[in-house]
Each structure stands twice: as C-alpha cells, then as structure tokens.
Amino acid sequence: MQWNSLVTQLFGPYHGMREDGDFLQGEVIFDGEPIAVIGTTNHAPIGVRLALAQARVVLDTVAQHPGRPTLLLIDTQGQQLRRRDELLGINRAMAHLGASIDLARRRGHRVIGLVYDQALSGGFITSGLIADACYALPDAEIRVMRIPAMARVTKLPEEKLTALSQSNPVFAPGVQNYVAMGGVRALWRGDLQACLREALAHTPTDDRRARDGAERGGRRLAAAVVQRVLDAA
C-alpha cells in the first residue's frame, strides 16, 4: 500500500505527514490525541543517514513530548549495502536507533511498528522488531532473503527450500509466517483505525514473541529453550 493512502485511511486527508526523500515524518491527531509517526518509503535502504534521521525524531519525542505514542511505518529493502556506510559504522547507527526506541519504551511511550509494504532483515531489526510490538498489513512482505539467494548462500537446492517453505514458516517469506512465529503480533485487516486503536490500547510492553511463536506453532522451541536456561541447575 502507498504510504499516503495508508495514513489517509488512518488519520484522514489532513494528516500533515511529510515526505523528505525516503523519509516520512509527522505529528498526527488520532482520537483527539497526538501521535508521532516515523517511517520510510520507496523500499528505502537504511544507511547511517536514515537511521540517524529516525533516531532524531524518537529522541525529540522523548525530550519534548513525554509519553507520546509513536508509530513506525516500515517499508525497507534492508540495510544500505555500501562500503562507506560500513566504514562509518552502520551497525553503530542501527544500534543507536534501536537504543533510542528502547529508551522511549522504557520511559512509557507506546511504540508500535507497522509493516505496510516490505521489510527486510537489517532495516527491520532496529525498527519494527524492537518496538513494543510489530503489526503488518496482509499484503506486506517480510523476509530475510529471497529463496533463490538463500539457495545460493546455503548451497541447498531451491526446490527443497520451496517445498519446505510450504510446511515450515522458518524458511519462507510472508507476513503470515511471521505471525505464526510471533515476530508479528497480528495483521491489520479491514478498519485500520480500529486496528490502531486496539494496538494503542492493548499492545503488551514485555517481549511476548517467543511465547506467541510457541502457542501459534510457528516457533516451537524458542520459549522452551529460554525457560530451560532459566531453570538449569
């Protein structure tokens, strides 16, 4: 879905969101209360610059608007694959973005991620995946790598991976698989305003993803292994 169409559905035609290159930002009013919205578009690669731009808004929100809920709108092709970004410490910039969102959460800001188009590994891990919880639209796509590329890297036959992806959510792209594994809390269908309202009211602030993955059958071991380490003699 186009970001403009999404925020129009969520916040009406006078939402006030701004687009600056691949970066989205705005203060919207929802149910009479202000929400900070931060996002990317055009399947943006997340490099140092875009990671810092997002962190800036998060830190400003924490400093100037204590407690204001924050919505992260996610559309990314993953981290920027450039030598200059590695030289400049892209991993440190990503960690800074993640730590900023984490600080907001600890200070009582409700932070909600929404994958509205595409989410990939490095661009996703310090945004939606470090929010209180992440949601997705049904036609969004989430993955680490496409199956042909995965076949090359792992040296496993593409047919085998494709076949396994039918039965095991671990291998295949797709928001439904991320829901089954607990990585995405729920899909937003139909009335998006109602979905946001529900998320703002009921998103947990603790990390429930491993338990959700076990209950939903998509990630059967993680929660049990965590518990075994906690209980080990």
Q: CB nearer to other proteins: give 49 or 193.
A: 49
Give residues with Cβ within 8 angstroms of 125, minimum separation 6: 94, 98
96 Ramachandran zone, left/alpha/beta (phi>0; psi -120 to 50): alpha
Binding of residue 85 to other proteins (CB under 8 A): yes
Binding of residue 110 to other proteins (CB under 8 A): no
CB of 143 to other proteins, least distance (A): 7
Q: 96, 109, 110, 185: which one contacts other proteins (CB under 8 A)? A: 96
CB of 219 to other proteins, least distance (A): 6
Q: 5, 33, 52, 158: which one contacts other proteins (CB under 8 A)? A: 52
Using CB under 8 A, which residues numbered 155 to 214 contact other proteins?
156, 160, 164, 168-173, 177-178, 181-183, 207, 209-210, 213
Binding of residue 70 to other proteins (CB under 8 A): no
Binding of residue 20 to other proteins (CB under 8 A): no
Helix (H), strand (E), coil (C) string for the chain:
CCHHHHHHHHHCCCCCCEEECCEEEEEEEECCEEEEEEEECCCEEECHHHHHHHHHHHHHHHHHCCCCCEEEEECEEEECCCHHHHHCCHHHHHHHHHHHHHHHHHCCCCEEEEECCEEEHHHHCCCHHHCCEEEECCCCEEECCCHHHHHHHHCCCHHHHHHHHHHCCCCCCCHHHHHHCCCCCEECCCCHHHHHHHHHHHCCCCCCHHHHHHHHCCCCCHHHHHHHHHHCC
Taking residues 204 to 233 in sequence order and writing x for each that binds other proteins by CB under 8 A, - otherwise, the string is ---x-xx--x-----xxxxxxxxxxxx-x-
Taking residues 112 to 141 in sequence order and writing x for each that binds other proteins by CB under 8 A, - otherwise, the string is ---------xx-xxx--xx-----------
Q: 2, 12, 34, 106: which one contacts other proteins (CB under 8 A)? A: 106
Q: CB nearer to other proteins: give 32 or 167.
A: 167
- For other proteins (CB under 8 A), the number of binding residues is 76
Count the Cβ atoms, other than its own, within 10 Å of residue 14.
8
CB of 80 to other proteins, least distance (A): 8
Binding of residue 18 to other proteins (CB under 8 A): no
> Quick one: tokens of 107?
């200070």
CB of 30 to other proteins, least distance (A): 25
Q: 83, 166, 190, 202: which one contacts other proteins (CB under 8 A)? A: 83
